[in-house]
Structure 1
């Protein structure tokens, strides 16, 4: 369901280059201290730990940011100019287009020609670990404890899971997170309610009933056009993990994911707290047999592993689709989206079942870092921490109060009509491009139902989520693994091969190009691909997280 682990090769390459060029500034492996600890450092007395302005006298900083294409240059951005006036922190932005940002970021770290901080840093856990090891990004723990991140501190005090999620394997916090408490982090699947009614069928509640419904969708002409053109079950290719994408909505139907969610493709935690590779479990074979039956009987779209979203939408517009599992709302489903509702968790086993399509509250941990070149990390952290407040998140997502949005009597944030419905036909993202910075993601923020303006929090979408809400994996169990540098290097050599092989074979089993009689051989091959070492690395990460 989630986590495309970036290969460790990039991180290793950066660290190797630093070693060759002698760029790393620390002689030890501990967390780096910020630059300018002596007379060059601006006085901490100038910085207010709460309220505004952040700085009594202007503080000047240099920031590197990945600029999403719809967002204006951050040096000329009205929202950022407003925040500059509010905070008295003046930033000279290196505003790099998103499509070339990664190359520039890596070059600056490799040459040690660093800005004071990086926003929308898009740092994987591997790169965070590597840059922390070289001392190029600083640990934030002492600054947080000293009171320079009041919003993050309050969130961690309220929810220990947030602290656990952003704490690196060495016990330090190096970055600020993107936190979502809104329904946008819950994925959905959509069944054609109109077809159910047309055929006089009840909403399915088990996988066996689901099979019968799909069969009726195929055979009984629910769209009434006298053609056998219905596609009972469809989807589209979103990542390289086609097999995992097909099955991920249904892991919880077989009882998987209840102790952690799905923490990596084909991986969860069993009831004893042990990392489990689902694809080698006997019960997983039942899943494969079930989906092979759907495929063999023509109930799954034969284009599901190759088509894109637009192809699915065109089939929906033609009233040909019975079921699709994608998105956190159904607005993407085109002209016939009103026909689709959320189905319940479909039971396939005795015991507890779950809806595992939910991301942890902490979605991205590498969105903001402070470098060891920063002369005033106190002001920098306070500046960034504001985005974890309700008002700061509103600035990032909605712009400026009374200019682009208002707050209603119930405390909900509402875009003004000229931005929600631009008279010139601009999308909301385009209309807000001079005022907001959330476009493209990777922003430090805390998204709540009150602030979120996405389709996922429309009343009808919330009602759909209520169907599966009782079965969601509890937030406190959802894991964000963090690995040591050594573990990252090992993962880079084995994880890709294991995940790619598993996915390829799952697709073959489902489509029948590999007979299910070769299941034991498949499991034996996986066990010979250093699967035990792969699981041991995740077990160590889980045990650290679960302390």
Structure 2
């Protein structure tokens, strides 16, 4: 039976001179049926087409692909990942249960997350590496490290092994072609696996902006601003009309900490989504030297000079911002959820509407910044691993709806258990000993999926099969707040969503060329933005600012990213 391997397709897409063109690939896929499924799931097969038992190159006897146990006889592997200090990984029920399911016993090395990147670098430098890296991210296992250690043979290329051993992840790649593009290096290899986000808020690039609903009600605001002029007018009303009703002019219309969370949402009004490299209609631009960005800092300077933007925006910490929110002094603010700042309850916070994207004179098209919904480099295998095939079968479980739920809340009996409610239904309730006032602390002792990125995919459509865990069997699950978030996201982000720049890899040569320039540009632009907004640097000095950036090598910096983008886009 003809098989088209995922690795072959990736090579076809990424190698420059090939006789077979993309059209031939598509014809092959149509002839085969559905990629990876109709053409075979890989591995040995019996007469029914189901993967049968086999052994990998190490001689370790594997079980049936997609089923437990992963290996027939117990084997041991070592794993390294960032610890969050809540519990030792060896004591976590998720890992203990996986050992029972798979026949793979793991020994863990878990430096504190704050020191993990340094410890991982030392492990690579010394050669004292584990078999598996788990819970890494692009800050600890950087793209440059992936390519460097992959080329040296220290990290195992996974593309062939994925098709043979990962039916769940292979199905995800079939349905989401951009994922394969974004985790494949320029040499055509996949060296790590991602965390894939698909929940209601997955499209958020960061916490949104939220309006203070009490203030809108006090001022009888019926419709949110949709242009920068309307937005300015509302902020003036926040400042002047005593919406908190205390008889003092202590209102702060807009606040943030260093503009980092507010910037993308307001910058979008001027046609950009971040202070960095940005792709617009296939062209790569350096946003901070565009006329659009100039209009943004000019507008923000106007807000700052008229005390519509918090005068302490560049000096306060997040705790100070939250204190102002809890004192009902803020009209618009960023946070993951509004009640984090206001101190209200979840139910009360549904009166705080999400910011609606604005347009401006320079940008008539409404856009909203969006996440790639992908976290790269969360799982990798080193050349010391006794059975890469077994390791991938082990992790593939987490890319199924059942496995994702398992990784999120652990096995039955650890963090939750079944109970019967008065209707005779089986529901999931917290086990005895879980602190109902701080359930996350209890969950963090059950699973590593707490505060770090892990190899899995969230399936929003699986909620019916895996209902939430509740305190008491007869509690009604209140979805009011989640329904509110979903509705706000669908109305105010999804229709206008734009990813600033796709996740892609630079070649080693490209990375070497841009590394120092990127750091210098980031530092200079960050400083100058603050100066322009606060008026320390007059906007009349804009041309001098642009000339300085040009002298730092921004033209080559953009050209290299354009080259990388074109390479990425050509794989479609």
Residue pair 2:278, 2:501 contacting (<8 A) in 1 also:
no
Distance 1:235 1:415 in 2: 41
Residue pair 1:67, 1:98 contacting (<8 A) in 2 also:
yes
Distance 1:148 1:310 in 2: 47
* 1:353 alignment counterpart: 366
Q: How does 1:88-103 map to 2 (within 5 A)?
A: 88-103=103-118
* 1:144 alignment counterpart: 162
CA-to-partner distance for each residue in 1:48-87, whole Å, 9 max, x for gaps? 32111111222221112222112x2122222211111111
Unaligned runs of 5+ in 1: 1-38
The alpha-carbon distance between structure 1 residues 453 and 219, as it changes in their structure 2 partners (threshold 3 A), is: farther
Distance 1:234 1:481 in 2: 33
**TM-score, scaled to structure 1:** 0.83
The alpha-carbon distance between structure 1 residues 284 and 434, as it changes in their structure 2 partners (threshold 3 A), is: closer
Q: How does 1:294-333 map to 2 (within 5 A)?
A: 294-327=303-336, 329-333=337-341
The alpha-carbon distance between structure 1 residues 189 and 446, as it changes in their structure 2 partners (threshold 3 A), is: same
Distance 1:471 1:516 in 2: 33
* 2:78 alignment counterpart: 62
CA-to-partner distance for each residue in 1:350-395, whole Å, 9 max, x for gaps? 5422111x211212x1111100111200001111122111122112
Residue pair 2:435, 2:442 contacting (<8 A) in 1 also:
no
- Superposition deviation, residue 228 in structure 1: 0.8
* 2:559 alignment counterpart: 536
Q: How does 1:16-95 map to 2 (within 5 A)?
A: 42-43=58-59, 45-70=61-86, 72-95=87-110
Unaligned runs of 5+ in 2: 1-54, 421-425, 470-478
Match of 2:296 among 287, 292, 295: 287
* 1:368 alignment counterpart: 379
Q: How does 1:258-269 map to 2 (within 5 A)?
A: 262=274, 265-269=275-279
The alpha-carbon distance between structure 1 residues 517 and 408, as it changes in their structure 2 partners (threshold 3 A), is: farther
* 2:532 alignment counterpart: 509
* 1:440 alignment counterpart: 451
Structure with larger RCO (C-alpha < 8 A, sep 6+): 1
The alpha-carbon distance between structure 1 residues 452 and 229, as it changes in their structure 2 partners (threshold 3 A), is: farther
* 1:232 alignment counterpart: 253
Distance 2:546 2:448 in 1: 47
Matched pairs, number: 486
| SS across alignment from 1:301 | coil
* 1:209 alignment counterpart: 230
* 1:169 alignment counterpart: 186
Distance 2:214 2:433 in 1: 33
Residue pair 1:234, 1:321 contacting (<8 A) in 2 also:
yes
Distance 1:305 1:51 in 2: 54
- Superposition deviation, residue 500 in structure 1: 1.1
Residue pair 2:279, 2:501 contacting (<8 A) in 1 also:
no
CA-to-partner distance for each residue in 1:211-254, whole Å, 9 max, x for gaps? 000001001111111111000000124xxxx5x54421123222
Which stretch of the first structure deviates more once superposed, 441-450 or 491-500?
441-450
- Superposition deviation, residue 405 in structure 1: 4.4
Distance 2:197 2:392 in 1: 20
Residue pair 1:47, 1:378 contacting (<8 A) in 2 also:
no
Distance 2:255 2:261 in 1: 12
Distance 1:509 1:407 in 2: 58
- Superposition deviation, residue 47 in structure 1: 3.8
2:150 maps to 1:129: no
- Superposition deviation, residue 347 in structure 1: 1.7
Distance 2:427 2:522 in 1: 43
CA-to-partner distance for each residue in 1:60-119, whole Å, 9 max, x for gaps? 21112222112x212222221111111111112223332333332222210112211111
**C-alpha RMSD of the superposition:** 2.7
Distance 1:306 1:315 in 2: 14
- Superposition deviation, residue 175 in structure 1: 0.2
CA-to-partner distance for each residue in 1:19-62, whole Å, 9 max, x for gaps? xxxxxxxxxxxxxxxxxxxx995326424321111112222211
| SS across alignment from 1:369 | strand
| SS across alignment from 2:398 | helix
Larger gyration radius, structure 1 or structure 2: 2
The alpha-carbon distance between structure 1 residues 452 and 321, as it changes in their structure 2 partners (threshold 3 A), is: farther
| SS across alignment from 2:484 | helix
